Chains A and B, each alone.
Chain A
């Protein structure tokens, strides 16, 4: 009584794959064997992880005796700020990538439309 399952013949958005959402015709399509995580995404993650380790700690040791003349408080604060700068850089990269993905998707769509008109 209390926990009745919701029965509906409609598929929720969770039950649909991307292909279903984009085109409902894909009955005879081949299943994609491309890797789920593209190489450039992995490289970006690794590069930013490396930068996240090297830049704050490196800046601490570079600046503590040159710029801040031994004041470790300022050098530590600078390191923390630089860690956040790297973080913001990653967010910006992610956003640009998201946009370029959409551009590509639109181009493909237009090409398909053109082909459809030509036929």
Chain B
């Protein structure tokens, strides 16, 4: 923790010294955030957005599988009956990674080749910024969603190991769809909170889709 303070303090004082030096030597207008944003290539924004989208999503999914998997293994020592129902949480985490992959593919469809003035017109800026922030939105949502799903899955694994009757346990009466539905809802009951946390990732995905929907492909001439 202390190193963080040193780092932040050092960076702040360095920036202050450099800024004051430039201000007092007549080049203060070089501190122009707008000029910086405009001079960065829209390709850089778009590519960074795509990278953040897939990267953060995979980090979230991996984190979730890491928590869930270690819990399943740890609980499996005491209750070694790993069935498909114990692995549902793993698939839940995988969905989060797939969201990131889908969005990265959708975003990358917008990145076409263009040069010269076309690269720095309004369309390109809009596409670059939209993809950057949409990627950050999707990546951040999926990161947190993956962790949430993983922690819920870990809890479900431990609960199942402690008391197997938590998952569905009723007298078998098949082939009646109504009874099947009741059984299904019972089975889903233990997964409800996990479903809620996996919906969190969908929120980010929807907003990401909406944000990139209006962005035109690079090089489109209107």
Cross-chain contact B80 with A36 (CB below 8 angstroms): yes
* Distance of A91 from chain B, by nearest CB (Å): 6
- Residues from chain B with a CB closer than 8 A to the CB of A77 are 206, 209
Cβ 8 A contact of B163, one of A13, A44, A56, A84: A13
- Residues from chain A with a CB closer than 8 A to the CB of B102 are 56-57, 60, 76, 79-80, 83
* Distance of B62 from chain A, by nearest CB (Å): 14
- Residues from chain B with a CB closer than 8 A to the CB of A48 are 91
Cross-chain contact A83 with B167 (CB below 8 angstroms): no
User: Looking at chain A's contact residues, is the secondary structure mostly helix, strand, loop, or mixed?
Assistant: helix
- Residues from chain A with a CB closer than 8 A to the CB of B88 are 90-91, 94
How many residue pairs link A and B with beta carbons under 8 A? The number is 114
- Within B163-212, the residues touching A (CB, 8 Å) are 163, 167-169, 172, 174, 183-184, 187-188, 191, 198, 202, 205-206, 209-210, 212
- Residues from chain B with a CB closer than 8 A to the CB of A62 are none
By a beta-carbon cutoff of 8 Å, the part of chain A in contact with chain B is: 13-14, 17-18, 36-38, 41, 44-45, 48-49, 52-53, 56-57, 60, 64, 72-73, 75-77, 79-80, 83-84, 86-87, 90-95, 97-99, 101-103, 106
